Amino acid sequence: MNSEPESRNNILLALREILPEKYLLTAKEDLKPYECDGMPAYQRIPIAVALPSTIEEVQKIIRACESQRIPVVARGAGTGLSGGALPHEGGIILGLSRFNTIIDIDHENMTMRVQPGVRNLAISEAAAPYGLYYAPDPSSQIACTIGGNVAENAGGVHCLKYGLTVHNILEVKIITVEGDLVTLGSMTLDTPGYDLLALMTGSEGMLGIIVEVVVKLLPRPLATNVLMASFDAVEDAANAVAIVISKGIIPAGLEMMDNLAIKAAEDFANAGYPVDAEAILLCELDGAEEHLAEQVNIVMVALGEANASNVVMANSEQEKAQLWAGRKAAFPAVGRISPDYYCMDGTIPRKRIAEVLVEIKALSEKYGLRVANVFHAGDGNLHPLILFDAGIDGELEKAEHFGGDILELCVKMGGTITGEHGVGFEKLDQMCVQFNPDELTHFHNIKHAFDPYELLNPGKVIPTLHRCAEVGAMHVHNGELPHADIPRF
């Protein structure tokens, strides 16, 4: 085996043959911006950052890395919230930011072919002249890339009705670890063979490098409306979600905020939120005019049944935008009321929302850390924001434990540890809770079918059985680490 500096030099030598100097970053200060993604708690410096702009360059880079067994971590915009694009110390970052061309807008087929570094919002902007848009709209859509969206199966406020990334793409081209260019999916509804497009979606850079994406476009809704319902009890707001759905209505978006989030957002965005309400629901409805009016009536009745203390309906485009402004600014708004926050991403069955919020509140008291809840209630995707101060010794660890407890609670309630932010590096331990060793082995088998030497984003998403054995042991001992002197990995 090569010694570390030697393997470093060899790969740099190979990469210099492939890329012009300015697109191969190796200086400490140039590598620094790549040390973490949107989850700054984890940081590592890679050997180099390669910034190719053609498929051929990506193929050559991958082949060079494969032959020298150098790990490759793909990176889009680095907005991921689970450490998915966290570098590997012995590996390179493959940055796709220069793949930012819209290749083709086919408005007749209602599709757009784009490079992976194109930003999510740029797609809808380019489609707008044709009256079309791309439905998945993560809150990070100004910055995040479509390649990152596919890799994370990103969702957004409107995915309750319009689906996640996996429902809104037709085809991707990937580079395999061997450097082959392979097309997954097609422009038709039935692609032969296994559905590798679905498998690639949400695989977090572990199975291949996405170098091209074809997205589906939808006609812009004819009309939309936004309702805001206030509640005196969080449980009522939670139950309202199930009541609305039981009326046969699928809102375009159904979001919930609790009192702490309401207050923070109102302070920040002046959206007109009721700061004394225990919770609000924001409900967006869309459709043809007549259909919209009908839905509004049904939802109004449902909210009444659910004990809403007040319901406001937006009367203009401006009022709609204002109601959404608070929700959209909720994360930065919470950022203002606490030095740090930790965003969780569990999903639970809708009917369990009330119960889970109550338990989170109890945990909040136990840990002595505040929690603001602002989330995609319609599909049961929670985003508890745990407030803490990293400047205070031990608070980060406390927040992490608290977060872990929340995710385990989600699993216990029949849900999952991540709805849209991915496992990345952050939730490896919770994967041990959600999946047993046989299931993890199954995942490793999938990985090995694509990447036998574990060079693509190694050490993420699927924990080793060894790690889980240790986590299991930690659980048995109620968080008190057995053999605390043994190093853990």
Ligand X SMILES: Cc1cc2nc3c(=O)[nH]c(=O)nc-3n(C[C@H](O)[C@H](O)[C@H](O)COP(=O)(O)OP(=O)(O)OC[C@H]3O[C@@H](n4cnc5c(N)ncnc54)[C@H](O)[C@@H]3O)c2cc1C
Give residues in contact with ligand X (CB under 6 A): 37-38, 73-81, 84-85, 96, 116, 138-140, 144-145, 147-149, 151-152, 154-156, 204-205, 209-210, 331, 420-421, 457
Token digits of residue 341: 């926050």
Contact positions with other proteins (CB under 8 A) in 308-367: 347-351
SS3 161: helix
Task: Quote the CA–CA distance of 408 and 416 in Å, as a whole number.
Answer: 8
* Helical pair 317-328 and 330-337, crossing angle rounded to 10 deg: 50
Question: Rounded CA gap, 489 and 467, in Å?
Answer: 7
Residues of this chain, 102-131, that bind other proteins according to CB under 8 A: 106, 108-110, 131
With CB under 8 A as the contact rule, which of the stretches 282-290, 314-322, 356-364, 479-487 interacts with other proteins?
282-290
Strand pairing report for 181-185 and 169-175: antiparallel
Identified binder of other proteins from the candidate list 7, 10, 100, 191, rule CB under 8 A: 191
Residue type, 221: P
Q: Which stretch binds other proteins (CB under 8 A): 37-45, 226-234, 265-273, 289-297?
A: 289-297
Cα 116 off chain centre by: 16
Q: Which does 438 bind (CB under 5 to 8 A by kind): other proteins, ligand X, none?
A: other proteins
**Is residue 467 involved in binding other proteins (CB under 8 A)?**
no
Determine, following the binding rule CB under 8 A, whether residue 459 of this chain makes contact with other proteins: no
214 binds, among other proteins, ligand X, none (CB under 5 to 8 A by kind): none
Structure tokens at 94: 């493959």
Distance CA(413)–CA(171), nearest Å, equals: 35
Determine, following the binding rule CB under 8 A, whether residue 55 of this chain makes contact with other proteins: no
Least Å from the CB of residue 313 to other proteins = 19
Burial label, 159 (beta-carbon count in 10 A; 0-12, 13-18, 19+):
buried
- If one asks whether residue 25 binds other proteins (CB under 8 A), the answer comes out as no
Half-sphere exposure of 338 (CA within 13 A, CB side): 26
User: Which CB, 369 or 461, lies closer to other proteins?
Assistant: 461
* Least separation in angstroms between CB 428 and other proteins: 11
Please report how close the Cβ of residue 170 comes to other proteins at its closest, in angstroms. Answer: 9
- Judged by CB under 8 A, which of 190, 317, 393, 485 binds other proteins? 190
Residue 123: name the closest of 108, 96, 151, 144 by CA. 144
Q: Which is nearer to ligand X, 205 or 384 (CB)?
A: 205
Question: Where are the alpha helices (H) located in 142-181, listed in sequence order?
Answer: 146-152, 159-162
